[in-house]
Amino acid sequence: MSKKIDNFIEHLVKLTKSKRGSSILPKFKKSNPTKLFQIGRYIYPYLPTQNESWSNTCFIHTARLFAINPRHTDTKLFGESIRPLIGEYSEEGMNRRFLSFLDATEEASIFQHLGTLIRLSASKRIPINWADLLQGLTHWEADDMWVQNKFSRDFWEQPKTEKEKINSPEMA
């Protein structure tokens, strides 16, 4: 699945850099998920398979959210890429928003809370690790909730200073 995800995100990033893509991406934002035929030719070739309903849903919503904030980074994980919002908005409010996203279990709720985070990141021009996000979303329903735990750790864990990195047991 990772290769499919990487190809899909690469496709979305390429769309942002083309004249055609700059006119297409706004349609992603406005498209009704039940009327995907409007943007289908740009999404369908990249969907996993017809049998993977949840994965397909995640790909489609990711395309729609990408259109809101087409800035991509692969140097930070999803939680890390959202963390700067704490400095831009109230820490309590951002913690509450992020926790609401992590606690969401229904499709509409997941993507509603995620949409809020993406809109906030777009307003501050903060890039998102779209591949890490999509990879996590496709496994959202895992019984052990490893995705929510990973995103939580990536968001709330304090980044190590250069000195801490050098002295860490991993570097020894």
The pLDDT, as a whole number, for residue 172 is: 45
Tens-digit pLDDT profile for residues 93-152: 999 999 999 999 999 999 999 999 999 999 999 999 999 999 999 999 999 999 999 999
Tens-digit pLDDT profile for residues 12-48: 998 888 777 677 777 676 656 555 666 777 777 888 7
Whole-angstrom CA distances from 27 to 84, 126, 140, 162 are: 28, 22, 26, 43
Whole-angstrom CA distances from 32 to 29, 88, 153 are: 9, 31, 33
pTM for the model: 0.84
Distance CA 62, CA 11 (A): 12
Distance CA 141, CA 68 (A): 25
Q: At how many degrees (to 10) do helices 107-123 and 91-103 cross?
A: 150
The pLDDT, as a whole number, for residue 57 is: 87
Q: List Cβ neighbours of 56 (8 Å cut-off, separation of 6 or more).
A: 47, 48, 49, 50
Question: Mean pLDDT, to the nearest integer, of 157-161?
Answer: 72
Cα-trace Rg, the chain = 17
Distance CA 147, CA 109 (A): 16
Considering the chain, what is the average pLDDT of its residues?
85
Q: Which of 38, 46, 39 is nearest to 10 (CA)?
A: 46
Distance CA 81, CA 74 (A): 9
Q: Which of 114, 143, 138 is nearest to 56 (CA)?
A: 138
The most distant pair of C-alpha atoms in the chain lies apart, rounded to whole Å, by 55
Instruction: Write out the CATH class of domain 2-159.
Output: mainly alpha
Q: What is the DSSP string of 37-48?
A: GGTHHHHGGGS-
Pick 171 or 140 by higher pLDDT.
140
